[in-house]
Amino acid sequence: MSDCGFVYLVGAGPGDPKLLTLRALEVLQSADVVAHDELVSPAILEFVPAHVERLRVGRRHGSGKAAYRLHPIVLERARAGAVVARLKSGDPLIFGRGGEEAEELADAGIPYEIVPGVSAALGAAAYARIPLTHRNHATRVTFMTGHDAEALEAGSGETVVLFMAAHKLKANLDRLISAGRSPSLPAAYVVSATTTEQRVVVGTLGDLHERIGGIDPAAPALIIVGEVVALGARLAEVGRPSFDPEAAAGES
Ligand SMILES: C[S@@+](CC[C@H](N)C(=O)[O-])C[C@H]1O[C@@H](n2cnc3c(N)ncnc32)[C@H](O)[C@@H]1O
């Protein structure tokens, strides 16, 4: 352990271990402790050397309100001089509480670094071939959570990516409609993006909730809304998917 503790807030990417950055890999292989969210895929935890202490510290789906921003055990280890990698799904600063955790580290006087990761929004878009800002269809993209959906007024040429919106899917889709969008606007439900479990269900704002029967509502999912979704369905017809489950099975 080093004399002075240090915390890395590290983005693990959306699931496919090949989307982990080289910097994140370097940090995971040199830390004393890896404190990770439940959503971080087991394939990524395999990069952590066996001698490194692993702590599971996250709260899935933001459930439960805790009084702390950064888990107390992370602070405790850092204060004791450990180099801690706080590993978070996607990017730490996109709905990952990385900002709040950085504030707490700054308040505590503990040095830290933020290592960006590929957000699920970007992984899902690429692997489902939905071009978030194709110039003929969308000139802006908004990332938001399901319960904030009504706060965004409809605008033409927009793409909306909803995080944490799977649990109350119909209510979240209805909020977007109430804010002025057409029920016929294309919408996609991308579950377990970039992993071998990925599924993409395409529908409209009005009927997407009826199409996802059988998918585990607890699996991480994003809803992507906008004309680019229809384009994505066309782009997916040809070429090679970003993630080929058969090739991956052959590699293991
Ligand atoms: C607490 S947020 C963390 C977001 C993360 N920081 C990011 O940049 O992707 C968790 C939500 O991200 C989304 N998510 C994370 N990984 C995902 C994946 N592989 N496929 C689809 N959605 C995912 C889901 O909406 C999930 O409820």
Q: Nearest residue CA, atom 12 of ligand 1?
A: 163
Q: Is this prediction's pTM over 0.85?
A: yes
Ranges of H-type helices in the chain: 22-30, 42-45, 72-79, 98-108, 120-127, 169-178, 208-211, 227-235, 245-251
CB-ligand 1 contact for 127 (6 Å cutoff): no
Tens of pLDDT along the chain (252 residues) come to 445 699 999 999 999 999 999 999 999 999 999 999 998 989 999 999 999 999 999 765 344 455 567 889 999 999 999 999 999 999 999 999 999 999 999 999 999 999 999 999 999 999 999 999 999 999 999 999 988 887 888 888 899 999 999 989 999 999 999 999 999 999 999 999 999 999 999 999 999 999 998 899 899 999 999 999 998 777 877 766 665 555 555 443
CB-ligand 1 contact for 172 (6 Å cutoff): no
Specify burial of residue 176 (Cβ count, 10 A radius: 0-12, 13-18, 19+): buried
Q: Mutate which of 222, 223, 243 to test ligand 1's pocket (most atoms within 8 Å of Cβ)?
A: 222
CB-ligand 1 contact for 89 (6 Å cutoff): yes
